[in-house]
Amino acid sequence: MKALAHRRRASLAMTALVAVPLAAGLAACGQNGGGGGGPAPDVSVRDASAAPRPERATAVAPMPRSMPTGLRIPSAGVDARDMLRLGLDADRELQVPPVGQADEPGWWTGSPTPGQRGAAVVVAHYDTARGPALMRNIAEVHTGDTIEVPREDGRTATFEVREIQQVNKKDFPTHKVYAQTDRPTLRLVTCGGPVVGGHRSDNIILYADLVHH
């Protein structure tokens, strides 16, 4: 009976882990349905990955919970001084920043705060109907580059990009993006590819590990 109870608890834990990610796909990022200054040029990046650095990952302790207040990506010229709070919409898909705030990133409140143990999820536009947005220079980001997230506690969580992936939105790697990790990590999701039906066809995802705080 004890073994059965243990398996049941494990099954329920796995269900809880998977249920939220499966309800949190990212669809309507990079809306370009006419008007404004028009979309940015189509963008594609080469998938790339670098081996994690165990000596750095294990040496950096998780940070306590503290709300993110901005986003800096030097290689992409990103220096945002605010961070929106994002939830799920009526279709159980992850919200994106409003078109009028396309130069501001958003943090999914269902994920850890950046620097905490687990996978913090941040979303930002590549472009909108009004033109290029915060992640307009996503193609300039490479593995080994840093992503800095200032926090309300006055500290900054610094991550190093370990993997870059571009994928059609129909094949969005839900579990890979949202599943929790045993160390502090960051997933930054934006859009890329051509405009199809008024939206970018692809998502570009940066996977990064905490290396300093």
Residue that the structure tokens 């049941």 belong to = 8
List % helix, strand, coil for the chain (3-state, nearest 5). Answer: 20, 35, 45
- Residue 86 pLDDT exceeds 90: yes
* 177-205 tens-digit pLDDT: 998 899 999 999 999 999 888 889 999 99
Going by pLDDT thresholds of 50, 70 and 90, the confidence category of residue 44 is confident
Pick the residue with more confidence: 49 or 82? 82
DSSP single-letter state for residue 114: B
- Residue 33 pLDDT exceeds 60: no
- Domains of the chain from N-terminus onward: 2-212 (2.40.260.10)
Q: How far apart are CA 57 and CA 167, in angstroms?
A: 27
Instruction: Report the pLDDT value the prediction gives residue 50, as an integer from 0 to 100.
Output: 85
Weakest-pLDDT range from 31-35, 175-179, 204-208: 31-35
- Residue 89 pLDDT exceeds 90: no
Residue that the structure tokens 């994002």 belong to = 86
Going by pLDDT thresholds of 50, 70 and 90, the confidence category of residue 93 is confident
Pick the residue with more confidence: 3 or 92? 92
Instruction: Report the pLDDT value the prediction gives residue 7, as an integer from 0 to 100.
Output: 37
CB contact at 8 A, 191 and 181:
no
* 122-169 tens-digit pLDDT: 999 999 988 999 999 999 999 999 999 999 999 999 999 999 999 999
